[in-house]
Amino acid sequence: MGLEGNIIKSDSNSEFLKTIAVSRTPTEKYYISILTDDGEKCPEPESFSHATMIGVDVGLLTFATLSTGEKIDNPKFLKISLERLKFLQRRVSRKVIGSKNRRKAAYKLAKLHEKIANQRHDFQHKVSKKLISENQAVAVETLNIKGMKKNHKLAQAISDSAWYSFVQKLTYKAEWSGKTVLKIGQWESSSKTCSVCGYKHPNLTEDIREWLCPSCNVLHDRDINAAINIKKFAVGTTV
């Protein structure tokens, strides 16, 4: 298959067809992506208000938490696949380098990587479609790329890359339907700040999932509070 990795430009007579790209996965599956342009412009973004938008907080334990209080968990099949991924990774590392058994184990691992990628894309397409269709605007935190590179924890790395591809899906779905994605820089205080009165918790460690604001006496779920703050910060109001 000599076409692999090539981008083939369409002939100049065709306005519709832009490029065709051929790619191959590590398990020898070939994909052809065809980029076309129907000439139609994306709709103008519709206006939004506090009432018609949501904030979304990304998490390790829950995939996403919404400012409405709703929590979107990673699907169970994805968790099972991720457990199996750890198991297969250990198996590959225990085989002798260059051996047939190692190649076999590596192939199985690559197959599982592909399966997880497909499961994740499917899940993310469904969630992003729902969020964009139900709201006029969605506020999210963008990732700290420097932090991502320094991070060696597998769970965090997987969560970061999943979030990145989710935000991409949200963004283009919003463009297609006249909605808005508001991206704010990763903001350390989104969990620590009381979304009701603005009080800042002095030492909110990762293990604290709930906290009572000593200033206004509101009990906060850590992630819901963060999602509300992300929404407020995105539209320029801190309290």
Residues lying near Zn ion in the complex (CB under 5 A): 194, 196-197, 199, 213, 215-216
11 belongs to the catalytic site: no
Min separation Cβ 195 and Zn ion, Å: 8
Can you tell me the distance from the alpha carbon of 237 to that of 239, in angstroms, rounded to the nearest whole number? 6
Q: Which is nearer to Zn ion, 48 or 199 (CB)?
A: 199
- 9, 45, 47, 62, 134 from 13: Cα distances, Å: 11, 32, 39, 49, 40
57 belongs to the catalytic site: yes
Q: Measuring CA to CA, which residue among 39, 36, 5, 41 is closest to residue 22? A: 5
Q: Which is nearer to Zn ion, 180 or 191 (CB)?
A: 191
Min separation Cβ 186 and Zn ion, Å: 22
The residue count for the chain: 239
Can you tell me the distance from the alpha carbon of 56 to that of 51, in angstroms, rounded to the nearest whole number? 15
Give me the catalytic one of 122, 141, 207, 221: 141
Min separation Cβ 79 and Zn ion, Å: 34
- Is-contact 116 82, C-beta < 8 A? yes
Q: Which is nearer to Zn ion, 13 or 217 (CB)?
A: 217
Give me the catalytic one of 37, 57, 207, 221: 57
Can you tell me the distance from the alpha carbon of 204 to that of 213, in angstroms, rounded to the nearest whole number? 11
221 belongs to the catalytic site: no
Min separation Cβ 205 and Zn ion, Å: 19
**Neighbouring C-alpha atoms within 13 Å toward the C-beta of 136:** 10
Q: Which is nearer to Zn ion, 107 or 199 (CB)?
A: 199
- Active-site amino acid positions: 57, 141, 223
